[in-house]
Amino acid sequence: MILGKTMGKLFTLCEWVMKLAYVNLLWFLFTIAGLVIFGFFPATVALFTIVRKWIIKETDLPIWRTFLTVFLNEFKSSNKLGLVFICSGIFLAFDVFYIRTIEGMLQFILIIPLLIIVAVYLMVFLYIFPLYVHYEFKLKDYLKNAFFLSVFHFHITLLMLVSLIAILFLLLYQPGLIPFFSVISIAWIFMFCGMYSFNRIDQRQGKISKV
């Protein structure tokens, strides 16, 4: 009996390892299929959609069909969101390189607000995919809510950032894990933390509405 339970748990563990690796490989496949620039955001949305369903206990979904359907359905809208982040990132990178050419006190004056903007950019990016797959908003509302969540739940934002850095360091020392468990690990932590924040917000709104 004990052996049977142990084998059952081991089988479940192996099954989940295969699922995680499979979805991670699908992300790379679809990102490359979209020429990276056009594939990254819809592939990431599809990845987060599956992770979200797993977190809410919808574990029997067809992975390939779900990934493909979300990728195709969200291709245009997710790339519109991606265009905002890409253009903003290029603009910030240009500003960084430009400020480095300036010398003296002016450089110090300009670098501080720029670092704040870069920090806000990164904080918004941490929440944008969990928000995108959990709620249905207009484009500007995704950005606005991602910002407010990252500020109001700053401890969760820090946890997400520390987790991201830890995973990146692990992958740096174990690059063999990248094709199988890199993006899926980040997505799971971000989605889990994001849903924790969403639930806290929903609970507060529920309390307020009852008053």
Checking if the pLDDT of 90 tops 50, the result is yes
> How many CA atoms, within 13 angstroms, populate the side-chain half-sphere of residue 87?
6
Asked if 184 and 27 touch (Cβ cutoff 8 Å), the reply is: yes
On average, the pLDDT of the chain sits at 90
**pLDDT higher at 106 or 14:** 14
- Rounded Cα–Cα distance for residues 112 and 202 (Å): 35
Q: Number of structural domains, the chain?
A: 1
Checking if the pLDDT of 206 tops 70, the result is no
Please, which pLDDT band fits residue 5 given cuts at 50, 70 and 90? low
What is the extent of the structural domain holding 83? 2-210
Q: What are the tens digits of pLDDT across the range 13-34?
A: 888 999 999 999 999 999 999 9
Give residue 207's pLDDT. Answer: 43
- Rounded Cα–Cα distance for residues 129 and 142 (Å): 9
Give residue 109's pLDDT. Answer: 83
Asked if 130 and 194 touch (Cβ cutoff 8 Å), the reply is: yes
> How many CA atoms, within 13 angstroms, populate the side-chain half-sphere of residue 37?
4
- Rounded Cα–Cα distance for residues 167 and 62 (Å): 27
Q: How far apart are the first and last CA of the chain?
A: 53
- Rounded Cα–Cα distance for residues 106 and 147 (Å): 28
Q: If you average pLDDT over residues 89-106, what whole number do you get?
A: 86
Q: What is the pTM of this model?
A: 0.91
Checking if the pLDDT of 190 tops 70, the result is yes
Asked if 156 and 195 touch (Cβ cutoff 8 Å), the reply is: no
Give residue 42's pLDDT. Answer: 97
Checking if the pLDDT of 1 tops 80, the result is no
Q: Bin 35: left if φ > 0, else alpha if -120 < ψ < 50, else beta.
A: left
**Residue 25 is encoded by which pair of tokens?**
């490989």
Give residue 51's pLDDT. Answer: 97
Asked if 50 and 68 touch (Cβ cutoff 8 Å), the reply is: no
Asked if 43 and 22 touch (Cβ cutoff 8 Å), the reply is: no
Q: What are the tens digits of pLDDT across the range 163-185?
A: 999 999 999 999 999 999 999 99
